[in-house]
Structure 1
Amino acid sequence: MILLQFSSAQGPEECCIAVEKALAYFLEEAKKHQVTVDLLESFPSKQGLKSALIYLEGEDTERLAQSWCGTVQWQCQSPIRPLHKRKNWFLSVMRFSAIQPITDSEIEFEFTKAQGAGGQHVNKTASAVRAKHIATGITVKVQSERSQHANKKLAKQLIQWKLNEYQEQQLSMLDKQRHNSHYQIERGNATTVFSGQKFKRLS
């Protein structure tokens, strides 16, 4: 299991826009490499995303993840502050690996009708999944996908991630790295560079 976290690293709103653009670009690239991507968690900002956590699966997963890890630079005039002098915005992409995969027997699943937008299909189908890790009581609810099977898979992955966070003593390095990544970013030494409103990749 490979997890990638895209983070604005507490940067301004332009960095959050860069996170959203970078994630969209990554998803398109993943399709070309036949890598399956599941969005496990995201935190929106006013204009973009503060951070996003994704799960990767597929033969080319390792190479794709490695090509993105590090600092990503976006060279662009601010789309929300046109008079702002700064034209370089940064985000971080960090990789994490789950330590101890959990099994279905450790989780209680409850299936309910999804709520919110989606029309008749959403309202009539018990596709939403509420999952509870029996030992710790960690609970998540997933209804982003139309099928019960897909939501169950995402719920299990999200439980795994939250369990990793919960087990801070056993997974202290993983937990500290993830949280520190929101506050630490190496600006000026980007491994990947994008340019302009169309987010064109330069390197």
Structure 2
Amino acid sequence: METKIIQISAGTGPTECAFVVAKVLKIFLKELINNKVAYLILHKENGLQNGTVQSVSIQLKGNQLADFLKDWLGTIQWIGTSTFRKYNKRKNWFIGCFEVESNESLSIKENEIQFQAIRSSGAGGQHVNKVSSAVRAKHTKTGLQVLVMDSRSQHQNKKIAIKRLQEKVSNFNMEQSKIQLENQWMNHKTVERGNPIRVFTGTDFKQKKKVKSFKNKRNHLKNDLRKQL
């Protein structure tokens, strides 16, 4: 199962672009559900007007995410009339959908964990301190650690420690990702206006299907062939 982080952003675009982000977000989440892709909204920056979103970052988990995202990553265009500025004549609005590189993996490897066996100090009578059954596990990359003394079996405590440390490191990485994403959306200051990957029209945001034309490509191939001859 793959994990990716996606950001849909209006960049420094006007309120209309933030309106488009909010509308596109609903369509995007609906397609995630239809394609059985799990998601978690990591950070959302609301726009200045009600019902608008300046930027949103989403963690995706699923299979074949690259195939799903190939129809989303890039510039997204909406053709419609502004509802915020009555006399604005502009009809074309652009936002961006980007993949965010994650520095930290949300999983840890056992060779990244240091284990220390210590004597239990809980209830158990006179025999509890004679065996070093408790386990302290430390993740070397983050310094996070857990102490487990649930069982009299050191092996069982080690298994529990790995699971709890995994959860702790995952929560830590999630918080780091949120902090990173809160400051990152402004990096997309300019959204490319040409060659949109998706085009929506009207207030109901119907998708405008692209009509693929191979005429220009054929002409280029013919010219290249003539040059070779």
Length-normalised TM-score, structure 2:
0.57
Match for residue 28 of structure 2?
26
Please, which of 190, 194, 213 is the counterpart of residue 188 of structure 1?
194
Match for residue 137 of structure 2?
none
CA RMSD of aligned residues (A): 3.1
| Aligned partner of residue 70 in structure 2, secondary structure | helix
Matches within 5 A, 1:115-134: none
C-alpha spacing 1:153/1:69, structure 2 compared with 1 (3 Å): farther
* 1:195 Cα deviation from its structure 2 partner: 0.6
Identity %: 29
| Aligned partner of residue 28 in structure 1, secondary structure | helix
**8 Å Cα contact 2:5-2:99 kept in structure 1:** yes
Cα distance in 1 between the residues matched to 2:68 and 2:26: 14
Cα distance in 2 between the residues matched to 1:185 and 1:153: 34
Report the number of matched residues: 151
Cα distance in 2 between the residues matched to 1:79 and 1:95: 30
Q: Which letter does structure 1 place at the counterpart of 2:187?
A: N
Please, which of 100, 103, 116 is the counterpart of residue 99 of structure 1?
103
Cα distance in 1 between the residues matched to 2:170 and 2:24: 22
**8 Å Cα contact 2:77-2:198 kept in structure 1:** yes
Length-normalised TM-score, structure 1:
0.64
C-alpha spacing 1:30/1:156, structure 2 compared with 1 (3 Å): farther
Q: Which letter does structure 1 place at the counterpart of 2:10?
A: S
| Aligned partner of residue 190 in structure 1, secondary structure | coil
5+ unaligned residues in a row in structure 2: which ranges?
Answer: 114-141, 145-167, 210-229
Q: Which letter does structure 2 place at the counterpart of 1:180?
A: N
Q: Which letter does structure 1 place at the counterpart of 2:33?
A: K
Please, which of 201, 207, 218 is the counterpart of residue 201 of structure 1?
207
* 1:41 Cα deviation from its structure 2 partner: 0.2
Match for residue 159 of structure 1?
175
Cα distance in 2 between the residues matched to 1:8 and 1:18: 8
* 1:189 Cα deviation from its structure 2 partner: 2.2
